[in-house]
Amino acid sequence: MSETNWTNEYRTGQMRPRKNCSTLLSLLLMAVIFLGGIVSAFGLLNIRPFRQAQDTPKEDASLSFYQNNDQKASDSVEPSLAQESPDVTLPITPSPSSVENTPQEGGLSLQQIYASTIDSVVSISCTLPGGNTSGTGVIIAKEGYLVTNAHVVADATRIRVQLSDGRTFDATCIGSDTVSDLAVLYVPAANLTAAVFGDSDALRVGDLAVAIGDPLGADLRGTMTDGIISAINRNIQTDGRTMTLIQTNAALNSGNSGGPLLNCYGQVIGINTMKIGDYVSDAGVEGLGFAIPSTTVKTVVDDLLQYGYVKGRPTLGLTFQELSALYQRMYNLPSGLYITQVNESSDAAQKGISPGDVLTSFDGTEVSTLEALNSLLYNHQAGDTVEVVIYRGGKLYRLELTIDQAGKK
Name the residue ranges covered by the structural domains of the chain: 110-186, 200-296, 314-405
For residue 3, pLDDT beyond 50: no
> Which stretches of 257-308 are DSSP H helices?
294-307
Band of residue 406 on the pLDDT scale cut at 50, 70, 90: confident
Is residue 112 within 8 A of residue 99, CB to CB? The reply is no
Once rounded to an integer, what is the mean pLDDT over residues 218-225?
92
Position 94 scores a pLDDT of: 76
Residue 283: pLDDT over 70: no
Q: What are phi and psi of 296, to 5 degrees?
A: -70, -40
Burial 86-120 (b: 16+ CB within 10 A, else e): eeeeeeeeeeeeeeeeebeeebbbbebbbebbeeb
Would you state the pLDDT for residue 264? Answer: 92
Q: What is the pLDDT of residue 374?
A: 87
| Residue scoring higher pLDDT (385 or 73) | 385
Question: CA 34, 37, 40: angle at the middle one, nearest 5?
Answer: 155
Q: Which helix (H) or strand (E) holds 248?
A: strand 241-248
Statement: residue 212 has pLDDT above 50? yes
Q: Span 185-200, mean pLDDT?
A: 94
User: Strands 241-248 and 223-238, how do they pair?
Assistant: antiparallel
**Distance from C-alpha of 131 to C-alpha of 258, rounded to nearest angstrom:** 19
Q: Model confidence at 271, in pLDDT bands (50, 70, 90)?
A: very high
Mean pLDDT score, 233-240: 84
| Residue 123: closest CA among 229, 262, 221 | 221
Cα–Cα dist 141/20, whole Å: 106
What tens digit of pLDDT does each residue of 156-182 get? 999 999 999 999 999 999 999 988 999
- β-partners of residue 139 are 146
pTM above 0.75, yes or no: no
CATH class of 110-186: mainly beta
**Tens digit of pLDDT for each residue in 248-257?**
999 999 899 9
Q: Superfamily assignment of 314-405 in CATH?
A: PDZ domain (2.30.42.10)
CA distance 24 to 20: 9
The residues annotated with a catalytic role in the active site are 151, 181, 257
Give the percent of the chain with pLDDT over 90.
59
pLDDT tens sequence across 333-372: 999 999 999 999 999 999 999 999 999 999 999 999 988 8
Domains 200-296 and 314-405 share a fold: no
Q: What share of the chain is helix, strand, coil (3-state, %, to 5)?
A: 25, 30, 45
pLDDT digits (tens, 9 = 90+) for 130-165: 899 999 999 999 999 999 999 999 999 999 999 999
pLDDT digits (tens, 9 = 90+) for 49-71: 333 333 444 444 333 333 334 44
Burial class (CB in 10 A: 0-12, 13-18, 19+), 122: buried
| CATH code matching the domain that covers 200-296, chosen among 3.30.465.10, 2.60.40.10, 2.30.33.40, 2.40.10.10 | 2.40.10.10
Are 126 and 150 within 8 A, CB to CB? Answer: no
**How confident is the model over 89-112, as pLDDT tens digits?**
556 567 566 566 555 667 899 999
Residue 56 has a pLDDT of 41
43 or 217, higher pLDDT: 217
Confidence of residue 37 (pLDDT cuts 50, 70, 90): low
**Which pLDDT value is given to residue 218?**
83
H or E stretch including 241? strand 241-248
Query: What is the pLDDT, as a whole number, of residue 30?
Result: 75
User: Considering the chain, what is the average pLDDT of its residues?
Assistant: 81
Greatest alpha-carbon pair distance for the chain in Å reads 121
Give percent of the chain with pLDDT exceeding 70.
74
The phi and psi torsions of 177 (rounded to 5 degrees) equal -130, 105
Q: What is the pLDDT of residues 362-386, one digit of tens each?
A: 999 999 998 889 889 988 988 999 9
